[in-house]
Amino acid sequence: MASSARVTATTAGGSSDTPASGAGPVAAALQSFVRAPFAPRHLRELLFCLIGVAVGAGVVWVLFGVPLTAALIGRALVGVSSTTRAAQLPARGTGPLALLAGAQIVVLLLVVLAPRIARGAGSVLRWLARALLEDAIAAPPPVKRRGRGPIGWLAAGLRDGAGWRSAAYLLLKVPLAIFDGYAVFCWIVGLVNLTFPFWWRLFRNHPPGVRLDPVAVLTPVGSFRVATYRGTFAAFAAGAAMLLAAPWIARGVNGVDRALMRALLGPGRLAQRVRDLEETRARAVDDTAALLRRIERNLHDGAQMRLAALAMNLGRAKESLGDDGAATDLGAARDLVDAAHRSAKEALMELRDLARGIHPPVLDNGLPDALATLAAGSAIPVRLSADIRNRPSPAIETIAYFCAAELLANAAKHSHANVITVEVAQRRGVLLLTVADDGVGGADPGVGTGLAGLVQRVRTVDGCIHVASPPGGPTRVAIELPLRA
């Protein structure tokens, strides 16, 4: 069934009109661009780049410096031992052999221990990524050890696929460290270049007849020299450009680094898929059990109590009418029948609400109509855009509906927004639901139960959710769901 809808819903809570001036967003973007080099997030990314330079240098030292150092130490020890011998001529040829043997032994040890060392380094880098880049990367499964003793320990390490992937990441970190250093260079040297106009007159105040050498100004594309105070403004401009470019270079490099860490430092695709399926199954079982408990509790505390009261009132009304049809108290019987009638209506309302909580009847007409109903009942004006060519399965529509309802409720409670935008469309075989508002922002899936519950609900069908809500707003939540559960 194909359905398509484009709806704009405005409730009595206010008008959906917003200022049409474009100066606000442009000024905010420029302000954010200027503040980027000193924003905490970008500073953390630059710090991660600096750590990346240290990691790359450490890998190079382990690959080349450690074998060479061990070879030189071995050669020196052989040379010292050879001086104690009586025959010096045969010992002269042992120097190159000792150098080669020492290097080979160290290289062999590095190869054997590489998975273990790389796995430990990978755990540290995952922790740094979580602390500085706010990117939580799952740890790979532990090493499976079959034998005992040192031989079993070494064999388990050599069979460790995750350890070898971590070693591959460390090798790829060497060329990536060059770009990390480029970002750090732009930030540090850019700050230095900014200071030229301020210290020039203090340290270059020489007599008129004295000629000083020009001062070199470093840039990413080369260097130039400054000999006059007027030339310091060129250094200042170069420093400002470098300083503004550094955060975005760091973000690009860290984006590549994140992709490598997810692919090589995390669990393999098969292990991650098994883990995701296990978590999805556990969440589905827990959600089903919680839903059954909620239905049972609502039936017991609501409709069942109403029906029990209905039965009692009808029984008392029957007693008031008498066994032989002669009413002993007709007024009391009428009141009891009225009370039973009210109980019956209240029980029907509660049963209807309970059924709506399990599967809203409005979804029978399709997701666009259901979202339009939500938009019409929102306390904040909602702009709804729905473009669905192929109707998803009922389970997917239900999840999308309840996610939209939860996000609209959260926005009404916490966002202080003037307007909410809800968009649902199909993109590359997935259902994309986007809810955005112009409120105060600060939504965090790790705080509270609303967004955390949405994450669990979406993951039960292998969906994903992306939350962008910086302090000060705006907030944008994008949910991707498969078309078939």
pLDDT in tens, 197-214: 888 877 666 666 656 678
Q: Which residue has the higher pLDDT, 278 or 222?
A: 222
240: pLDDT strictly greater than 70 = yes
Q: Cβ-count burial of 253 within 10 angstroms (0-12 exposed, 13-18 middle, 19+ buried)?
A: buried
pLDDT band at 358 (very low <50, low <70, confident <90, very high): low
Residue 217 near residue 236, CB atoms below 8 Å:
no
Rounded CA separation 261/168 (Å):
10
**Rounded to whole angstroms, how far apart are CA atoms 84 and 318?**
122
380/207 Cα distance (integer angstroms): 71
Report whether 443 contacts 405 (CB < 8 A).
Answer: no
**What mean pLDDT comes out for the span 406-430?**
86
Please choose, from the candidates 245, 155, 235, the residue with its C-alpha nearest in 3D space to the C-alpha of residue 193: 235
pLDDT, tens digit, 9 for 90 and up, residues 270-291: 666 666 666 766 666 666 666 6
Q: Which residue has the higher pLDDT, 359 or 462?
A: 462
pTM of the predicted model, to two decimals?
0.58
216: exposed, middle or buried (Cβ count in 10 Å: 0-12, 13-18, 19+) = exposed
